[in-house]
């Protein structure tokens, strides 16, 4: 399956730790697809080294060549002020501008099709079927209300690398006076207005655990996404509410076998 790859993005030490758990989880599903970590020069080699043990392909890349005005508008301070996060807290190491670097995956034309997964996620079941899905597929951004099924979440999506597509993205991204409220997520929803919806189980957001427990079914979940707070945060404000999911993440980080999901209580 060398022409297909699961890809994630690492721009700092924290997300390198997240990528380690993610890549181990993909390996444990038995997938033979390539596992690729796009990383910026800001990430130390010592933080990337643990990933090599899982046969990960490390690809150094740059942030996008966006204008100074664009960068200022999408800085953490400016972005959080203009579009504050009211449902959960973004950790201190979250840098909104870095999110756009995931568009670099469209440059990896050695692959016919890829699946992008944010580094704060885990794969619980083999997802190789997604390589046959068209571009662009993403699951809905559902974690509080079922009415949010019309919005996508860019933590998991299918793509077909293409230099032409990447060039068109750069042209559309840094338009005059543009502001992407939720960075890459808002941009991708704009760039692919006819996006195809994946079942919510391919990107199950952790807040579903306590907001929509009727949607939570361990037997159906393919990818679990720790949006907002991260399980490894020392100052995690929702650690008690999400305790079973935090415990699960650490099992993937530290253990060499697939955890038994039946040990985690279903909130429903």
Q: Which residues have a Cβ under 8 Å from the Cβ of 152 and sit 6 or more positions away?
A: 138, 139, 140, 141, 185, 188, 189, 195, 197
How many Cβ atoms are within 10 Å of 135's Cβ, its own excluded? 17
Q: How far apart are CA 241 and CA 64, in angstroms?
A: 37
Whether residue 127 is predicted with pLDDT greater than 60 in this model: the reply is yes
Query: Is pLDDT at 217 greater than 90 in this prediction?
Result: yes
Instruction: Kindly list the strands in the beta sheet with 223-225, ordered across the sheet, starting from the edge strand earlier in the chain.
Output: 121-123, 223-225, 204-205
Amino acid 148: pLDDT: 82
Contact yes or no for 223/158 (Cβ under 8 A): no
Q: How many CB atoms lie within 10 A of CB 68?
A: 7
| pLDDT at residue 2, as a whole number | 61
Full-model pTM: 0.94
Q: For residue 154, is it left (φ>0), alpha (ψ between -120 and 50) or beta?
A: alpha
Q: Buried (b) or exposed (e) across 12-34, using 16+ Cβ within 10 A? A: bebbbbbbbbbbbbbbbbebebb
Superfamily of the domain at 4-263: Spore Coat Polysaccharide Biosynthesis Protein SpsA; Chain A (3.90.550.10)
- pLDDT, tens digit (0-9, with 9 covering 90-100), for 21-53: 999 999 999 999 999 999 999 999 999 999 988
Measured over the CA atoms of residue 20, residue 21, residue 25 and residue 28, the dihedral's sign is positive
Is there a contact between 43 and 13 (Cβ–Cβ < 8 Å)? yes
8 C-beta neighbours (distance < 10 Å), count:
26
Look-up: residue for tokens 């999408």? 74
Distance in angstroms (rounded) separating the CA atoms of residues 267 and 122: 19
Reported residue count of the chain is 268
pLDDT at 266: 62
Q: Which residues contact 80 (CB under 8 A, 6 or more apart)?
A: 90, 96
pLDDT at position 92 is: 78
Angle at 184 between CA 79 and CA 119, to 5 degrees: 100
Q: Is 51 helix (H, G, I), strand (E, B) or coil?
A: helix
Indicate the DSSP class of residue 222: S
Question: What average pLDDT does range 246-251 have in this prediction?
Answer: 94
Q: What does the block give as tokens for 262?
A: 């039946």
Q: Which of the four pLDDT bands, split at 50, 70 and 90, describes residue 62?
A: very high
């Amino acid at each position: 399956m060398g022409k297909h790859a699961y890809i994630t993005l690492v721009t700092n030490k924290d997300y390198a730790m997240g990528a380690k758990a993610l890549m181990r989880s993909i390996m444990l599903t038995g997938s033979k697809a390539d596992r690729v970590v796009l990383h910026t020069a800001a990430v130390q080699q010592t933080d990337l080294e643990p990933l090599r043990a899982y046969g990960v392909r490390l690809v150094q890349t740059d942030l996008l060549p966006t204008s100074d005005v664009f960068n200022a508008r999408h800085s953490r301070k400016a972005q959080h002020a203009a579009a504050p996060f009211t449902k959960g807290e973004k950790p201190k190491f979250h840098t909104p501008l870095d999110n756009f670097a995931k568009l670099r995956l469209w440059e990896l034309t050695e692959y016919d099709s890829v699946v992008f997964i944010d580094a704060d996620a885990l794969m619980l079941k083999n997802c190789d079927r997604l390589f046959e899905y068209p571009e662009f597929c993403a699951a809905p951004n559902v974690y509080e209300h079922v009415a949010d099924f019309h919005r996508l979440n860019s933590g998991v999506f299918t793509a077909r690398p293409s230099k032409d597509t990447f060039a068109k993205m750069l042209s559309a991204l840094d338009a005059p006076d543009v502001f992407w409220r939720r960075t890459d997520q808002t941009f991708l929803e704009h760039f692919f207005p006819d996006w195809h919806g994946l079942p919510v189980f391919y990107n199950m957001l952790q807040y579903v655990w306590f907001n929509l427990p009727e949607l939570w079914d361990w037997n159906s979940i393919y990818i679990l996404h720790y949006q907002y707070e991260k399980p490894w945060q020392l100052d995690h404000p929702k650690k008690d509410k999400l305790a079973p999911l935090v415990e699960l993440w650490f099992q993937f980080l530290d253990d060499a076998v697939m955890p038994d999901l039946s040990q985690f209580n279903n909130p429903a």
